[in-house]
Structure 1
Amino acid sequence: MPATHHVILDTDIGSDVDDLMALALILGTPSLELVGVTTVYGDTALRARIVARVARLTGRSFPVHAGLSTPLSGREVWWAGHEGALYDDLDAETFESDDAVGFLVDRVLARPGEIDVIAIGPLTNIAAAIERDGRFAGAVRHLWVMGGTFTDDEREHNFRSDAVAARIVFDADIPTTVTGLDVTRLIDVRAEQVERIRDSGPLGALIDAEIRQWWAFWDTQWNVPHDPVTVLTLVTPELFTFSPLGRISIDENPADPGLSRHEVSGGLTRVTRLLEADAVSARMVDGIADAAPVAER
């Protein structure tokens, strides 16, 4: 069995279904130990309650902390409007605190060099942790980021939503792997895969409903699993091709922020270049389906 990685997930779960899929994949992967989950961007308390519900559905126990709601850039939060709509009595769910930044700092500094952080939303919490304690950046084992695009001039949502935070994070010299839209779009999720996930148990049924809600929102019959792909760059790196190490620059132009560039010259950041589509897709679906409640294992 691969060595265990101790991970904190930082997420804007509740809008695009891929955050929920990433959380399920982590829970269904024996080589990952979930140290905790932090939420970011918009109504982070609602997002934290969604995570708490997932924990209860799967019989798991891990700390959940709500984080920063407003981007450091001051950019207006994009809100789909359906967040939490599929969860009955969501207000009954509880979480540990509204200080996700404090949790990140305390937990990482307690175990320097041991904890991977998987950041699949705007990088506001991570940037704030870097600024709160100068030791944080040097104590993270590795940062795994979903964001940007590196083959054209498109602005990806996470970097565009808080370009200031992204710049702070990439200037901090944390060992980092970034997976952008140019790679995550090489696979998608379609009906036959959704059926496999749906039949795996209560969490699978919830993911199925969230996927179909997302399809209805965009009037499609498919979606791109950006965030689970990012998780798999940690779990199965052999299925990916990465660039040499370098540095990422972020355009903070308020009128159209978030343009990302990777330059191979010094630095500790690599970007994902390619993936083995069939193998990544199969591993993703299997891992999500394996996030069954403990009682069913």
Structure 2
Amino acid sequence: MLGRSASLPRTSPTSGTSGRTSPTFSAVSSRCQNCLPTTWRVCSSHGENGVDHLIPVVLDTDIGTDIDDTWALAMLLNSPELHLLAVVTSHGDARYRALLAAKFLESVGREDVSVGEGVADGLLPAGRRGQQAWLAGYVSADYDGPYRTDGAQLLIDTVMASPEPVCVLCIGPASTTAAALAMAPEIAVKARFVGMHGAVRRGYGGSPNPVPEYNVLADVAAFRSVLAAPWSVTLTPLDTCGIVTLDGDEYAAVRDANTAPMRSVMANYRAWAKSIGHPELAEQRSTALFDTVAVYLAFADDLLDMETIRLAVRDDGLTFESADGRPVNAAMGWRDLPAFRRLLIDRLAIESKRSIGP
């Protein structure tokens, strides 16, 4: 997601890849009535104390413009409730974004994850390549895992191949997700959507004035396609994700964590901060970590005040409540933001969770 002002386990699909396949992982052994698919989350008997049921995830991201997508990817990989099957990219330079995702995955030993270059169109220019310095000449052939140039088809293949319902986790403009829905509308029956989209009652930084949020504004038609699909939609709008930051001792705890995920996050953050002319940022505090809230919503919502609202979107990208809108599950407030920050720190400051299985 941009710097935001309007300014289970299964063999990965290999069709259209660079010729490499991911390992085959063992399936979950049994079903708990409190876990998937009834509640779309892992029950309290599982989770970090030995996960029996992993939520399969496809990530749709615009990693490489704002830095929070990179933080969110690290959190996702270190969340034991989730099993990342594929990353697809959207908006602007989809190849640059896919290569960033691939190199990050490789840096934490997760070459089992398929990577796909997605839809590169949208209504706004691609913007900065703030993490290009970290990419440093990395090319798709360097990724020792499945790499595809047909990201929308990769999303479709991954959803349709999964025996478990898949969480399509979108933390950027929904261009590739919308393309997949247009190509194969049936994926909505086998998936649910969790996204970082919109501003309903508040804007950036907790402002009382909602504004068009970037991920919607960048491709309004794509977001409308998401809302029109017959699947569950859960969103964190700016109302909740726009006020998540780390500073002081909390930030120092992750900045100084000598783990593979945080080494890669900090290398990217330092490159990004330098690219915007403020290298000191990376040593002092995080920017807004919008997308990490969407990762949390992929497996839990206890720390948030969730409401079912009817959401509509104007042509200019402004989202608003309307009697004619589409019902969505929206995180409209925090029950315990400090607890979320503690969870985020715990997830970021550990070594990457490897895939389960042989």
Q: Structure 1 residue 234: deviation in Å?
A: 2.3
SS at match of 1:131: helix
SS at match of 1:243: strand
Distance 1:42 1:291, change over 3 A: farther
**Equivalent in the alignment of 1:57:** 107
RMSD over aligned Cα atoms: 2.2
**Which of the numbers 225, 243, 252 marks the counterpart of 1:195?**
252
**Which of the numbers 131, 141, 146 marks the counterpart of 1:83?**
131
Larger Rg: 2
**Equivalent in the alignment of 2:226:** 169
**Is the 1:262–1:271 Cα contact (8 Å) retained in structure 2?**
no
**Which of the numbers 206, 214, 218 marks the counterpart of 2:264?**
206
Distance 1:88 1:218, change over 3 A: closer
SS at match of 2:88: strand
CA distance in 2, matches of 1:66, 1:282: 33
CA distance in 2, matches of 1:55, 1:282: 24
**Would you say how many aligned residue pairs link Structure 1 and Structure 2?**
285
TM-score, length basis structure 2:
0.74
Distance 1:134 1:293, change over 3 A: closer
**Is the 1:44–1:66 Cα contact (8 Å) retained in structure 2?**
yes
**Is the 2:78–2:353 Cα contact (8 Å) retained in structure 1?**
no
**Equivalent in the alignment of 2:204:** none
- Could you tell me which runs of 5 or more consecutive residues in structure 2 were left unpaired when the two chains were aligned: 1-45, 48-52, 202-208
Superposed CA offset, 1:274-293 (max 9, x none): 12110111111211222437
**Equivalent in the alignment of 2:170:** 119
Deviates more, 1:203-212 or 1:25-34: 203-212
CA distance in 2, matches of 1:107, 1:293: 21
* Structure 1 segment 1-297 matched on structure 2, within 5 A: 1-2=46-47, 3-60=53-110, 61-71=112-122, 75-91=123-139, 93-94=142-143, 96-111=147-162, 114-140=165-191, 142-151=192-201, 152-198=209-255, 199-215=257-273, 217=276, 219=278, 221-244=285-308, 246-252=309-315, 257-263=316-322, 267-275=326-334, 276-292=336-352
- Could you tell me which runs of 5 or more consecutive residues in structure 1 were left unpaired when the two chains were aligned: none
TM-score, length basis structure 1:
0.88
